[in-house]
Amino acid sequence: MRKRTGPRNLLRAAPAAILLPLTAFLILTSCAGGDRAAVPKQPNIILILSDDIGYSDIGSFGSEISTPNLDRLAAGGVRFTNFYNTARCSPSRASLLTGLYPHQAAMGHLATRPLWDEPGYLDDLNKDAATLAEVLRESGYSTYMTGKWHLYGMNNASTPEELAADKSNWPVQRGFDRFFGNLSGSCSYWDPFTLLSNNTFVPPGEGFYYTDAISDTAVKFIREHPEGKPFFFYVAYYAAHWPLHAPEEAIEKYSGVYDIGWDSLRVLRFNRQQELGVITPAHRLSERTETIIPWKDEPMKEWQSRRMETYAAMIDIMDQGIGRIIAALEEKGELDNTVILYMQDNGGCAEPVLTNRMAMPLTEEQKVLKPMPADQVLQVRKPEYTRDGRFIRTGRGVMAGPADTWLGYGEEWANASNTPFRLYKSLVHEGGISTPMIVHWPEGLEQKGTMIREPGHLIDIMPTCLELAGASYPEEFNGTKTIPPEGVSLLPALRGEKLDREFLFWEHEASRAIRMGSWKLVARAATPMYFTPEDEERWELYDLDNDPSETNNLADEEPDRVKEMAARWEEEALRLRAIPWPWDNPGR
């Protein structure tokens, strides 16, 4: 493949803090009849992405949830406290793997059946962007993935057999040597829809729990990786996306912890964030969303506590798996030369998920067991019955955790997850787009346990990894001219330097934002996916240096700045394929 001039070579660009650890790894290589030459050893790279987890949900960012392994990575690495995703599952995954804004990668909404014909909203990962796996494999890396893909447009297919008709955007076809995980979005943790081993659909097997399967397969791939070759690993956890599923013993660990309710939990987390230094004195604890009642008035406290207990257990189990991955690296002597990056795909999820009504008693028919064969591949995302034949229950009052339940933790706990911010997944206020980001690299980081306040974004992961690997982004890939990445390398920020960029951009379901310096212009549509003339004037303006929690709207005080930034948003939206809008839009 032909290559454009890519990110600066790490050995030429990096000062001592980065350069010295790498030069310590100079090795001699030779080939038959050739001269021996000193070359740098490329670091292994592991990207860990979790799903639907809020800003304050891990210990090193203020949580009471037990995450000792992530906390270890934070203590031995650095924390980006001002890092961003794109507010939704598929768009964030597209940006992470391509270095593009999601609309450039044709993933402006969600990987699903095709809904629109606009280039930014085809919702099937485009071919004019090379993935990280594709580029790093060309640069000598082995490439592995476990977990949730969610970048494959289902193209009106619904069954596994129909989905298999076009595998061109499956993980193995987009650069991964080995893959274990699922193609689709939401699914049962006990029996995931579209579960794959490489290109083959597989049933879950006895004793299956998806988070453990992701972790344990990652450990297996690491142990089987051949010596002397670097690897790139994308570990895409499904935790803690709904439905709320976890083993009973894991939930029991958190029994009673959340009886204090969401109001007190937010205060405790905010205070802890202050103690840790994750937030600055400028942060304020945003007001509880007006649609959330005070905990003291909640009539179903036991049910509500159980939802959050299960959610906490799901994150705890994920962290235990990360601990097993770290241990596997240590066993192979690879931890010091492995760059581990942890981040989340969007903020806490306020979707009600089948809890808008009270649970109904099972009918006599629903009480009859209807099991599936153990070797049968699941045919639908949400079946009516579990694999062992139990009817799957929904609604308020159903106690979360077992395989025969299907619900989320709701807006109330999502508000606590996103402490100190407001709003949620799918919206581009800080609560929807802020993610912790941890970088751990014993041989490459001089500072340990420090906070980096410089804003970063998922689009920066591609150029960062390419600079780490000494690789360049291709001008063409598989005969197709590529779109160059939009992000910047984060390595200067690791050295305490400013990142050189003009803006950061967001759009999702007609929610819009642009950040320029410390100023952020943001708006949410009154009705998602429907933009009206009234929405045109909904802009809010925040100075994030002085108001990072978005509590003081300065739009009326700074009309010229609003006009200037709104014009820039429109300009970039057209260039980045966020507009034309894909939905019916008579008011525009």
Active site residues: 89, 150
Contact 234, 44 (CB under 8 A): no
Give DSSP secondary structure letters for 367-396: TS-----TTPPP-SSS-SB-TTSPBPB-SB
CA distance 323 to 526: 43
User: Looking at this protein, which amino acid is placed at residue 1?
Assistant: M
- Omega within 30 of 0 (cis) for the link into 240: yes
CA distance 584 to 169: 28
Calculate the alpha carbon distances from 211 to 62, 92, 100, 317, 329 in Å. 23, 20, 28, 7, 19
Q: Which long-range contacts (CB under 8 A, 24 or more apart) does 300-306 make?
A: 300/396, 300/397, 301/259, 301/261, 303/396, 303/397, 303/398, 303/399, 304/258, 304/261, 304/410, 304/412, 304/413, 305/256, 305/257, 305/258, 305/259, 306/251, 306/399, 306/400, 306/401
Q: How far is CA 25 from the centre of its chain?
A: 32
Q: Which residues of 407-439 are buried (b: 16+ CB within 10 A; e: fewer)?
A: bbbbbbbbbbbbbbbbbbbbbbbbbbbbbbbbb
List, in sequence order, every residue forming a beta bridge with 237; answer none if it has no partner: none
Angle between the N-to-C axes of helices 261-276 and 410-417, in degrees from 0 to 180, rounded to the nearest 10: 10
Contact 91, 455 (CB under 8 A): no
Find where tokens 């799903």 sit.
51
Q: Which residues contact 443 (CB under 8 A, 6 or more apart)?
A: 21, 22, 24, 25, 43, 336, 337
Contact 550, 429 (CB under 8 A): yes
Tell me 227's DSSP state: T
Contact 229, 144 (CB under 8 A): no
List, in sequence order, every beta strand (DSSP E) within 222-308: 231-236
Tell me 296's DSSP state: G
Query: 242: closest CA among 394, 357, 112?
Result: 394
Q: How far is CA 446 from the centre of its chain?
A: 27
Query: 514: closest CA among 98, 121, 90, 84?
Result: 84
Query: Using alpha carbons only, what angle is made at residue 479 by residues 475 and 481, rounded to the nearest 5 degrees?
Result: 40
